[in-house]
Amino acid sequence: AGADAEQELTDGFHLVIDALKLNGIETIYGVPGIPITDLGRMAQAEGLRVISFRHEQHAGNAAAIAGFLTKKPGICLTVSAPGFLNGLTALANATTNCFPMILISGSSEREIVDLQQGDYEEMDQLAIAKPLCKAAFRVLHAEDIGIGVARAIRAAVSGRPGGVYLDLPAKLFSQVVDAEKGAKSLVKVIDPAPAQLPSPASITRALDVLKGAKRPLIILGKGAAYAQADDEIRSFIETSGIPFLPMSMAKGLLPDNHELSAGAARSTVLKDSDVVLLVGARLNWLLSHGKGKTWGDAPKQFIQIDIEPKEMDSNVEIVAPVVGDIGSCISALLDGVKAGWTAPPSEWIETIKARKDVNIAKMSQRLLKNSTPMDFHSALGALKQVIKERPDAILVNEGANTLDLARGVIDMYQPRKRLDVGTWGVMGIGMGFAIAAAVETGKPVLAVEGDSAFGFSGMEVETICRYNLPVCVVIFNNNGIYRGLDTDPTGRDPGTTVFVKNSRYDLMMEAFGGVGVNVTTPDELKRAVDEAMNSGKPTLINAVIDPAAGSESGNIGSLNPQSVVKKK
C-alpha cells in the first residue's frame, strides 16, 4: 500500500515539466545550478530537449529567437539572483523586439527575501523583472503551476508578443501534490494568439489612401516576418504592384532580387514616396522616426498595420491605422485590391529601377576584389555567394561595419533566414541566436560576426561543439572595435578600441573539437564556408580583415555625441 500511495503523488518539478509539455514546449535553453539543476535533468529525462549554455544571457537570446522563429514562447531557465539578472538582459531585449519568450528563474525563500534577512542569492526578482517585460508572475503553490505556466504562455504570444517572467521559488519544486489533482490542475492554453481582425472601416480607409498614391511604398518589418503570413504578403505586393522595402529581419519575406524590391534604392524611396504602408515595422530610430532629412520634404501619408493599437501615432500622424494581426489585415487589403485596383504609375517604378541598377552596379565592383588583406566588401562578396547558393541556410549577423555592410550586401531569398541585432542594435546575440536557429530549424547556420561582437558570446562555441550543431561562425577580424588602429595617447596601454593584434579565434574552436580555419582571401573564405556548410561540423573561420577597414560605429556614427572641448 505504501508503494501505491507513492505512485499517486507528483511534485512541483514534475508539474512544471508536464505543464510545458502539455503546451507543446519542446526545448528549454538554460544554465543549471541551485535550485533548478534537477528540473533540467528531469525535463531531459521526460523527453524535453535541454540545451545547457555557459552564460544565461545567451540561453535567453536563444529562447527569444526560438520564439521569433516558431511563434511559440522560447523558454529560458536560470538560477536565482545573478543567473536571473543575466537572463533578464535577454528578456528585456526580447520584449523590445516583440519576441515571445518566458524566463523561468528559480528564486530564494520568500519569507527571508521579503524580510531581507540575507538568503543565498537573495533578490526580489519579481519586482525587478516587472518593468522590463510584458508580464511577470510568481507561483507559490504547486497546484497553481498549471495556471502560472498558462498565463505566461498566453501573455508571451497574444497581442504584441514579448517577454514574460515566471518566478519559481526553490520550495515550490519539492511540494508534493496528489497526482490526479496535479494532472487536473494543468491547463492547455486554447488559441493562445487569437486572430485579431481589423475593422472593415480601417481597411476601407487604408485602401482609399493607397488608391490616391502616386508613389506608394510598403515597408516590411520583422513583425511581418514573425506573423508567418508569407503567402498573403507576397500576393498583396505582387497583385498591387507596390514596391517594398524590407527592414533587416524582414529581408527574404520576398526575395531581395524581386523586381518590386526597393532595397537597393532605400534613400530614394524613403524621400520620394508619397504614401507609405508600414507592415509590422515601427517608426523608431531605425526609420528616423518617420521624419527629417531621410524622409524628404514632399508631404507624406502613413498607413500602419500593427497588432498594438498604442503603436499608432507614436512618432508621426498615421492617417490610416489598421489594428489587427498581419495575416488578417493583409488578407483584407488583398481582397480590396482584387476588387478594383490601378497599378502605381510606371514612372515611379522606373525611377526606382534606375536607382537600383546604379547602386547595384556600384556595389558589385567592390565585391569582386580577391586581395589581401581583405576589406569588408571583398569578404562579404564571398559570403553573398554562399547564401545565394544555399538560400535555406540561416544567417546570423552582428557587429558594427560587419552588420551594416552585410545587411546591404548579402541578399536573402526566404523568410526568417536573417537574424540580427534587432531594435536595440545590441551586441551579444550571436552565438545564442545561432544555437537556437540550428536547434529549432535543423538548417545550417552561418554566423557572420565582427571580432568585437563575437566576444560577447564567444564562450558558447563550446556549447556549439558539445551539441554538435551545424553552425559556421565567420569572424571578421580587424583587430578591434570599429577598426584596429587606436593608440593610447599617453603611450601607457593599448588604445581603448583595439584587441590583441592578429588573434586566432579559430584556435578557440579547435580547443573544443570543432574545426578552425584561418583565411586571408575571399577565395579561401568561400572554400572554408562551403566545406563547413557541407559537412555540418561546428566550424569557426578567422577571416583576417584590414585593421584600417571599417568606420567608427558603422552606419550610425552620427549617434556618437561629440565633445566641443576635446583636449589636444
Task: For Mg ion, give the closer residue by CB, 413 or 499.
Answer: 499
Residue 423 vs residues 94, 96, 97: alpha-carbon distances, Å: 9, 7, 6
Nearest CB to Mg ion, comparing residues 358 and 500: 500
Q: Which residues touch 284 (CB under 8 Å, ≥6 apart)?
A: 314, 315, 423
Range 94-124 burial, b when 16+ CB lie within 10 A, else e: bbbbbbbbbbbbbbbebeebeeeeebebbbb
Taking CB within 5 to 8 Å according to partner kind, which of ligand ADP, Mg ion, none is near residue 450?
Mg ion
CB of 314 to ligand ADP, least distance (A): 9
Interface with ligand ADP in residues 149-208 (CB under 6 A):
160-161
Minimal distance, residue 8 CB to ligand ADP, in Å: 43
Binding partner at 75 among ligand ADP, Mg ion, none, C-beta below 5 to 8 Å by kind: none
Residue of the chain from 411, 440, 451, 506 that contacts Mg ion (CB under 5 A): 451
Instruction: Give the residue with the Cβ less far from ligand ADP, 126 or 227.
Output: 227
Query: Interface with ligand ADP includes 250 (CB under 6 A)?
Result: yes
From the list ligand ADP, Mg ion, none, partner contacted by residue 478 (C-beta under 5 to 8 A by kind): Mg ion
Q: How far is the CB of 74 from Mg ion (least distance, A)?
A: 29
Task: Tell which one of 61, 80, 185, 423 touches ligand ADP (CB under 6 A).
Answer: 423
Q: How many residues bind Mg ion (CB under 5 A)?
A: 4
- Considering only 223-231, 440-448, 502-510, 543-551, which stretch makes contact with ligand ADP by CB under 6 A? 223-231
Nearer to ligand ADP, 161 or 263 (CB): 161
- The H helix count followed by the E strand count for the chain is 23, 19
Q: Which of residues 230-249 bind ligand ADP (CB under 6 A)?
A: 247, 249
Q: Alpha helices of 241-325 — where are they, by DSSP H?
A: 266-272
Site for Mg ion (CB under 5 A): which residue of 106, 321, 450, 514? Answer: 450
Tell the burial category of 148 from Cβ atoms under 10 Å away from its Cβ (0-12, 13-18, 19+).
buried
* Dihedrals phi, psi of 484, to nearest 5 degrees: -110, 35
Question: Judging by DSSP bridges, how do beta strands 9-11 and 176-178 pair with one another?
Answer: antiparallel
Pick 216 or 280: Cβ nearer ligand ADP: 280
The number of residues in the chain equals 568
416: which DSSP letter?
T
Report the nearest approach of ligand ADP to the CB of residue 236 (Å): 14
Per-position x/- string for 300-339, each x denoting binding to ligand ADP as judged by CB under 6 A, each - no binding: ------xxx--x-------------xx-------------
When CB distances are held under 5 to 8 angstroms depending on the partner's kind, the choice from ligand ADP, Mg ion, none that residue 436 binds is none
Read out DSSP for 7-59? HTEEEHHHHHHHHHHHTT--EEEE---TTTHHHHHHHHHTT-EEEE-SSHHHH
State how far the Cα of 229 lies from the Cα of 246, in Å rounded to an integer. 15
Q: Which ranges in 401-505 belong to alpha helices (H)?
A: 401-409, 430-441, 451-455, 461-466
| d(C-alpha 510, C-alpha 524), whole Å | 19
Q: What are the angstrom distances between the C-alpha of 313 and each of 254, 304, 306, 363, 468?
A: 27, 9, 12, 36, 47
| Contacting range for Mg ion; rule: CB under 5 A; set: 53-61, 245-253, 424-432, 444-452 | 444-452
**Which of the ranges 280-288, 346-354, 462-470, 511-519 carries the binding residues for ligand ADP, by CB under 6 A?**
280-288
398 binds Mg ion (CB under 5 A): no
> How far is C-alpha 209 from the chain's CA centre?
32
Q: How far apart are the two ends of the chain, measured CA to CA in Å?
A: 86
Q: What residue has cell string 524535453?
A: 48
> Least separation, in Å, of the C-beta of 226 and ligand ADP?
5
CB of 134 to ligand ADP, least distance (A): 11
Question: What are the backbone dihedrals phi and psi of residue 136, each rounded to the nearest 5 degrees, phi first?
Answer: -140, 135
Describe the chain by its helix, strand, coil percentages, rounded to 5. Answer: 45, 15, 35
Residue 142 CB contacts under 8 Å (≥ 6 apart), including other chains: 11, 12, 15, 172, 175, 176, 177, 182
The residue within the footprint of Mg ion, chosen from 478, 521, 539, 542 (CB under 5 A), is 478
Q: Is 282 in the site for ligand ADP (CB under 6 A)?
A: yes
Nearer to ligand ADP, 290 or 470 (CB): 290
Cα separation, 42 vs 50, in Å, equals 10
Report the partner that residue 451 touches, choosing among ligand ADP, Mg ion, none (CB closer than 5 to 8 A by kind). Answer: Mg ion
Instruction: Compare residues 202 and 423 and give the one whose CB is closer to ligand ADP.
Output: 423
Which of 286, 319, 367, 485 is the binder for ligand ADP (CB under 6 A)? 286
Angle at 233 between CA 210 and CA 410, to 5 degrees: 110
CB of 268 to Mg ion, least distance (A): 30
Q: Which residues bind ligand ADP (CB under 6 A)?
A: 97-98, 160-161, 221-223, 226-227, 247, 249-250, 280-282, 284, 286, 306-308, 311, 325-326, 423
Residues that bind Mg ion (CB under 5 A): 450-452, 478
